[in-house]
Every structure is written in structure tokens, then in C-alpha cells.
Amino acid sequence: MATCSVVHLKDIDMKDRIDAEYFQPEFLQTVSKLGENSPSLETIAKPITSAFYPEATQLYSIGEVPFIRCVDVIDYPVISSLQNNEFEKLPSSFIQENKTIKKLTSGDIVITKVGTPCYASVIDESLNEISLSRTVLGLTDIKIDPYYLVAFLRSKYGFLQLKRECELTIQLQLTLPRVGRIKVFIPSDDKKIKEISSIVKDYFKFFRESHILYEKAQNLLQEELNLVNFNPNYDLSYITNFSEIISAHRVDAEYFQPAYAELVEYLGNNFEIKPLRQLLLASRKGIEVGSKEYQEYGKLFIRVSNLSVNGFVKKDPKFISEELYQSLENDYGLQIGDFLLTKDATPGIAYLVKEYVEGIISSGILKLKINETEIEKGYLELCINSLIGRLQVERDSGGSVITHWRPEQIKELKIPILSKDVQQKIAYLINQSHKTRKKANELFNDAKSKVEEIIEES
């Protein structure tokens, strides 16, 4: 449905934005609700961003200071040491040599500025120092509770303002001046700020507990398989037989890396192993609807980039119409208990759907029907996401420019079969981890809702 705004010429700064997108009704309504007494962000915090710096990807393997990117922010309202394994890192010496790289510390805020802009996160006290990539900007010297501020910035009254201020270049992006000008609602009652801040902190407590439960499941799997001290040995040179090349239908050297065979051979010699095809009742590949079907709002079109081991993520979401969704739902829609597995771009991500989502899966995702008399779905989910699955996927999907994991390879994925009792314990821990994470997300949504209620009541 088309929408329009009527704006008086006297209310338009001809030296600023005059494009119609800037004056969308939802943007104008958001600003008007905040009123004249909401200070600008630049009066209560100092926006900063990193400028140009030398290429540093070669230093990530030896760095120790987290180098924050969009991907570290979007699904994490609180950035913490729990993400240590996901961070790229820079050496502190490199940061000192390049003064254009800005740093933040605990209590400061990061906002994504390009690619997927407008998402804000507060730095947890478990991180003493982080550095900023050019894809994000920072807020320091914050004069109000940063946990309240991050809830405001992620609420519709903060997020829509940031969205409005995105500059319409080839790629949407935020700039420091435009971020600094957005209005921040500050309740007159300090108790309300403290209440919202407390809810955000409770969110992080549950998030941390979810992480601990997932680690327990991982540790139990490694202990049962005696893989606690297993480190893949990646050789620089190795020899393989010509017969193995013919059998594998592969000539790329990476496929024959001994580390892959070492793991599979160890598991086969010590445990019962079954290929995935023996654990399946059926499988279905998702569908491509085509970019022409994308629209700003509607039902989710779930691509590989929208799926993680912890569930669905917000990275560059795409939507399709209600009508198209209805026509595809029976074959490509999702139900609780569906087992999803990515096969393209980032293959090998397994996720057991824990809550109903109105969406259609793309062709880069498989929906598998698991034979539950053979294996616990939660156990299988962790096996595929662990080193066991990761090394096999890494071997199979190599050798091409665009990463693909072919169906015939997927069906041959080797899965160790532990006792039913152990499988159930691991599945229970995974399920509890997801439940706790869901509770965490509900708490953060509650914090955002309370911000919005206070604004609307005032």
C-alpha cells in the first residue's frame, strides 16, 4: 500500500536531505513522538569512528585486541568475551602505530554503520578494550546509563531514527554527524532508567547461561569421543594414491589433507559410525523466489546468511509477500522440530527449529526429516556443528570458487553413534541452551518495549 507525507517547505532544510525517503511517515511520527525536550545524541555521548588504516587481515592470527565488525554487533546487544572465538583480532602494537584506529572500553557503545547499519551494542565489562573496524562507529563519554541507551537505540524510536539518517549511497551507511543529531528520550524518573538497565543486564545473564550450557554439551561430546585434546594436524605436503583420486573424483590437494582422514579414521576405529543417509527419512531443498519478489515488509525469506547454530539471525533480512508465502508454505515453510542444514556459501550449519517462524527457506538450505529411532535430533545437531562435522564439510566443500556441499556428499557425512543415554543428555543440554537464549531475547525485547511504552505514555 502506497504511503505519502505532506511536509511544509519551511520545515525542510534545503542544505540537507530533500529526498522523499527522508520524510517517510514512520520517520516523521517517530521524531514527533520524542518531542522537543529529547537531547541530541552528540550532547550526551561522543561519536567516534576509525579512519583509513593499512590492510591488516594477515595479522588476525597473531592479534589479541578484538577488532569489531558488523557481524559482532547485529545479534549481540551486549558485546562480551563470550564472542572471543568469533572476533578477528589485531595486535596492540599495530593499533598503536595506526592512530586512526579508534578504541572503546567497557560501558561504551558500538553502532553498525555500513552493510547492515543501525544496530547498537554496549561493551560488557569482560572486555577491557576493543578496536573499531570501518564498518562500525562508537559512542564514548556517555553521560547516561549505557544499558538504557542501548535499549533505546534498539527500540523503534532509536532504530528508525538511525535508519532515517542512513545516507543513500551505493551502500547504506551512517556518518558521525548524522548519528550525533538523533534525539534520545531520557525519562524524567531515574527509576525507569534503572529498571530498563536492569532488564538489559538480566538479558545478558541469561545469554551467558545459554552459552555455558552449550559449552557443557560440547565438552560432554568431546569427552565421550575422547577428542578433548584432539588437534587436526594440517600437513604442508602429503602423498595419496592415484586410486584414491579416482575414487573421490577430486584432484585438488586440499581434499586429501591428512587431518580430515585422521579424524574419520579415529572415529571409525573406536566408535560405531553411520553415514547421514542411514539416519534420514527424507530431505527437501529450499527454493529460490528471485530478488524481484523481495519487498520491504512481509514474511521472511530465510537464506543461509540468516541461519546460525543458535537460530535465525537478522543479517540483511529479505521479505516476500503474504500471497507468495501462502503458496510455498506447505513445501518450504517451517514447523517446530524441523531439522535445517546449510549446503551453500557457509555449508554445514545445522539447526533444529525450536519455535515457530513464518518464513520460507532458500535453496541453500535443506530441510531434513530425521529417523528419531536411530538418533536424537539434538545430538545430531551438535555433531554436525562440532569439529566432527566441520572437518568433513571443510574437506567436501573445497575445490571450487563458490562453496557448495553437494547432496551426495551430505548423505555420506560420517556421524559417531554414542549410547542413547549420552545422546539424550547432550540433546537436553542443547535444548536448555536454546530455551535460555530464548528467555534472554524475550527480556531484551521487554526492555525495548518498556522504552517505547514510556515514550508513548509521556
pTM: 0.87
Domain 39-186, CATH class in plain words: alpha beta
Give the end-to-end CA distance of the chain in Å, rounded to a whole number. 30
Spatial separation of the C-alpha atoms in residues 168 and 22, rounded to whole Å: 10
Q: Any residues with CB less than 8 A from the CB of 409 and at least 6 apart, and which? A: 396, 397
Q: Classify strands 103-104 and 130-132 as parallel, antiparallel or unpaired.
A: antiparallel
Domain 226-417, CATH class in plain words: alpha beta
Q: Which of 351, 361, 362, 368 is nearest to 276 (CA)?
A: 368
Q: pLDDT value at position 101?
A: 97
Q: pLDDT value at position 383?
A: 97
Write the burial class of residue 61 (CB in 10 Å: 0-12 exposed, 13-18 middle, 19+ buried).
exposed
Report pLDDT digits (tens) over 267-276. 999 999 999 9
Q: pLDDT value at position 451?
A: 97
Cell numbers at residue 39, please?
Answer: 537531547
Q: Which residues pair with 417 in a beta bridge?
A: 272
Q: Any residues with CB less than 8 A from the CB of 367 and at least 6 apart, and which? A: 283, 284, 285, 286, 332, 334, 338, 339, 340, 361
Please say whether the beta carbons of 312 and 302 come within 8 A.
yes
The secondary structure of residue 37, as a DSSP letter, is T
Cα Rg for the chain, rounded, in angstroms? 24
Cell numbers at residue 98, please?
Answer: 595506526
Q: pLDDT value at position 455?
A: 93
Cell numbers at residue 406, please?
Answer: 553437494
Q: pLDDT value at position 432?
A: 97
Domain definitions of the chain by residue range: 39-186, 226-417
Spatial separation of the C-alpha atoms in residues 128 and 107, rounded to whole Å: 10
| Strand ranges in 119-247 using DSSP code E only, listed in sequence order | 120-123, 130-132, 136-140
Q: pLDDT value at position 251?
A: 54
Write the burial class of residue 171 (CB in 10 Å: 0-12 exposed, 13-18 middle, 19+ buried).
exposed
Q: Which of 197, 366, 403 is nearest to 287 (CA)?
A: 366
Distance of CA 77 to the CA centre of its chain: 11
Q: pLDDT value at position 1?
A: 47
Three-state helix/strand/coil letters over 79-148:
ECHHHCCCCEEECHHHHHHCCCCCEECCCCEEEECECCCCCEEEECCCCCCEEECCCEEEEECCCCCHHH
CA angle 39, 40, 45 (to 5 degrees): 105
Equal fold, 39-186 vs 226-417: yes
Report pLDDT digits (tens) over 46-92. 999 999 899 999 999 999 999 999 999 999 999 999 999 999 999 99
Spatial separation of the C-alpha atoms in residues 174 and 137, rounded to whole Å: 9
Report, as ranges of residue numbers, the positions in the chain whose pLDDT lies below 50. Answer: 1
What SS3 class is residue 434? Answer: helix
Please say whether the beta carbons of 114 and 72 come within 8 A.
no
DSSP 303-357: -GGGEETTEE--SS-EEE-HHHHHHHHHHH---TT-EEEE-BSSTT-EEE--S--
